[in-house]
Chains A and B, each alone.
Chain A
Amino acid sequence: MSPAMLTLAFDTATSVATSALVRDGEVLAERASRAVRVLADADELLEEAGADPRELSRLVVGTGPGSFTGVRMGLAAARALAFALELRLAGVSTLEALAAGSPGALPVVDAGRREVFAVVDGAPAAVAPDELRLEPGTTCVGDGAIRYREVLEALGAEIPPRESELHVPRARFHAELAREFGDPEAVEPLYLRVPDAEQAR
């Protein structure tokens, strides 16, 4: 019997940071809290599973888009873990994880500046919420959908209640979607926006 494949996945890009521990495709446990706590959550997940960080086989991190600071905390932790444990790392877009948790829905992540991150014309982008073109009856999920509920509903969107877990990019989906595990430094954040100072130039 080959040893079990133990995967730790986490996403700190949005207002709810998530983590999941997956053994051979089976989700052992999940957590949801804040970005600064994500490694505390990971520690609890391993503790519950009776495992040590050294027993991890691979890592998956949410690459955003979302809060720049949040995305960076996740990537810094993931790259550091990968370096320390000599593991390979995979990145999964936060929008893709949201979509996987709510098939058929349009993920909408709060981008600040009265904008949202969403897939527009096949590619993730930052747009004003009222610029989204929606098929009537499209379900929108994510913290951007909660924040701009009225704007999006006026465009014909259906939005689950605020407390629905469909709005959270659950890390079990990152683990499920992860395909390419490789060099941790090659997993890049998905900012989708240049810093203001660059823009002003």
Chain B
Amino acid sequence: MPVPTGGRILGLETSCDETAAAVITGDGRILANVVSSQAELHARFGGVVPEVASRRHLELVIPVTREALGEAGIELAEVDAVAVTQGPGLVGALLVGLAAAKALAWANHLPLVPVDHLHGHVASLYLQPERVEPPFLCLLASGGHTLLIDVAEPGGFRVLGTTLDDAAGEAFDKGARLLGLGYPGGAAIDRLAREGDPAAFDFPVARVPGLDFSFSGLKTALLYAVRDLPEDELERRRADLAASYQRAIVRALVRRTHEAAEQTGATKLAVVGGVAANSELRAALPDAAFAPLPLCTDNAAMIASAARYTDAVPLPGYLALDAYASG
């Protein structure tokens, strides 16, 4: 643990389309958690454009850092360590946060803690006031990832299964686009699905071996369903399509999670990532611990949280760190 209980960690996160900075204490209290979402910027493209995202990160990274320090009521000089997402993610985006974090740490002779983004999502569960204690089985489902993770202790994690094609959040986004809904698609489908019949359409949930996931077939099935409906009927049945599509994604997630729990003998379940905000998933896993809503989407509090269980890199070693695209 690089930072004492009363110490403060400044976290930065720029792996995808949220520019985020946070300040937490060594014992996991959030003092500030600032997230500047670029969703609107990318909405007209129907997804994240890496170059557009990276340009925006550069514009925002210092302003969000300043805001987080201000909200926490501290000066940069009062920070004890800087944590930053090193990967996986969009490399050009990660490098903006990494360059800024190195500079902030170097200027103040602080250690830097390079954090794995997936570890960050899991560590969203270690923040107060609702800390979840390992061991547990963790479903991480977001726009970029769909993973089943065995978590034995806060400092580590072991991936049991992953998606072979699209991430669950990506499936929501693509489905939303097919249904003429906005981006990001998860919230839009969740809302519309409440007015629809989840049994109206039978969308197949791909069966792949092991504990992996596959969502590309599901998206194709929705594409065909949309294409085969006459215009006026499509309009009428949009909510049914959304409800059935959401049901299929949630079923796939829940089934695999239960299978993984059986295999590992896990008694405790946890769900993190943007899709953890989905109301049907929450209802389908009533006994699981869900990350608090503000910590589901990418944020820097979770990165700072993971830093509490990650070795800090001392000066000057971290000054040459590179980002990585995939784990």
The residues of A with any CB-CB pair to B shorter than 8 Å are 36-37, 39-40, 42-44, 53-54, 68-69, 72-81, 83-85, 184-185, 189, 191, 195-198, 201
Establish whether residues A79 and B100, one from each chain, have CB atoms under 8 Å apart when the complex forms. Answer: yes
Cβ–Cβ contact A84 & B319, under 8 A: no
Chain A nearest CB, measured from B99 CB (Å): 4
What are the residues of chain B within 8 A of A79 when measuring CB–CB? Answer: 61-62, 100
B45: nearest residue on chain A (CB-CB)? A197
B residues contacting the other copy or chain, number (CB 8 A): 35
Q: Shortest CB–CB separation between residue B92 and chain A, in angstroms?
A: 5
Quick one: closest B residue to A46, CB to CB?
B106
- The answer to whether B58 and A40 have CB atoms under 8 Å apart is no
Q: Flag if B106 contacts A72 (CB, 8 Å).
A: no
4 A-B pairs with the lowest CB-CB distances in the bound complex, closest first: A84-B107, A80-B103, A40-B319, A195-B51
Q: Are A36 and B322 in contact (CB under 8 A)?
A: yes
Residues on B close to A: CB < 8 A?
A: 44-45, 49, 51-52, 54-55, 57-58, 61-63, 65-66, 76, 91-92, 95-97, 99-104, 106-108, 315-316, 319-322
Contacting pair B99 A73 (CB below 8 A): yes
- Write out the residue numbers on chain A whose beta carbons fall within 8 Å of the beta carbon of B76: 83-84
Give the distance to chain B from A11, nearest Cβ to Cβ, in Å. Answer: 13
Task: Identify the closest chain B residue to A87 (Cβ).
Answer: B107
Q: Which residues of A contact B106 (CB under 8 A)?
A: 39, 42-43, 53, 81
Tell me which of A69, A77, A198 contacts B100 (CB under 8 A): A77
B residues in contact with A201, CB < 8 Å: 44
Q: B61–A76 contact, CB under 8 A?
A: yes
Contact partner of A53 (CB less than 8 A), chosen from B58, B61, B95, B107, is B107
Q: Chain B nearest CB: distance from A40 CB in Å? A: 4
Which B residues touch A85, using CB under 8 A?
A: 107
Given A75-B58, A77-B99, A84:B320 Cβ within 8 A: no
A-B contact list, 11 entries, CB within 8 Å: A39-B106, A42-B106, A43-B315, A72-B95, A76-B103, A77-B102, A77-B103, A79-B62, A79-B100, A84-B104, A198-B52
Query: How far, in whole Å, are A39 and B99 apart by their CA atoms in the complex?
Result: 8
* Chain B residues with CB under 8 A of A43: 106, 315-316, 319
Pick from A44, A76, A197: contact of B58, CB below 8 A. Answer: A76
Residues on B with beta carbons closer than 8 Å to the beta carbon of A189: 55, 58
The majority secondary structure among interface residues of chain B is helix
Q: A43-B319, A185-B62, A195-B55 are in contact. Are A83 and B95 (CB under 8 A)?
A: no
Which residues of B are found within 8 Å of A80, using beta-carbon distances? Answer: 61-62, 65, 99-104, 107
B44 neighbours in A (Cβ, 8 Å): 201
Compute how far the CA of A75 lies from the CA of B96 in the bound complex, rounded to whole angstroms. Answer: 9
Q: Give complex CA distance A40, B49 in Å.
A: 30
Contact of B91 with A69 in the complex, beta carbons under 8 Å: yes
- Among A54, A74, A77, chain B packs the most CB atoms within 10 A around the CB of A77
Most buried by B among A76, A77, A81, A189: A76
**Quick one: given A72-B95, A77-B102, A79-B62, are A195 and B319 in contact (CB under 8 Å)?**
no
Complexed CA–CA distance, A37 and B92 (Å): 15
Question: Which listed residue (B54, B63, B104, B315) contacts A72, Cβ 8 A?
Answer: B54
Given contacts A83-B62, A195-B49, contact A39 B102 (CB under 8 A): yes
Which single member of A39, A69, A191 contacts B95 (CB below 8 Å)? A69
Contact of B96 among A37, A40, A76, A196 (CB under 8 A): A76
A67 nearest CB neighbor, chain B only: B92
**A69 vs B54: C-alpha distance in the bound complex, in angstroms?**
8
Q: CA–CA, A140 to B103, complex, Å?
A: 34
How many Å from the CB of B227 to the closest CB on chain A? 24
Contacts of B62 in A (CB 8 A): 79-80, 83, 184-185
A75 to B76, CA, bound (A): 19
* A74-B320 Cα distance, complex, nearest whole Å: 13
B320 & A72 in contact (Cβ 8 Å cutoff): no
CB atoms of A39 and B103 under 8 A apart: yes
* Chain A, Cβ-Cβ closest to B101: A80
5 further interface pairs, Cβ-Cβ under 8 Å (given A39-B319, A53-B107, A69-B95): A39-B102, A68-B92, A72-B54, A80-B107, A201-B44
Instruction: Write out the residue numbers on chain A whose beta carbons fall within 8 Å of the beta carbon of B52.
Output: 195, 197-198
Instruction: Find A69's partner among B92, B108, B320 (CB 8 Å cutoff).
Output: B92
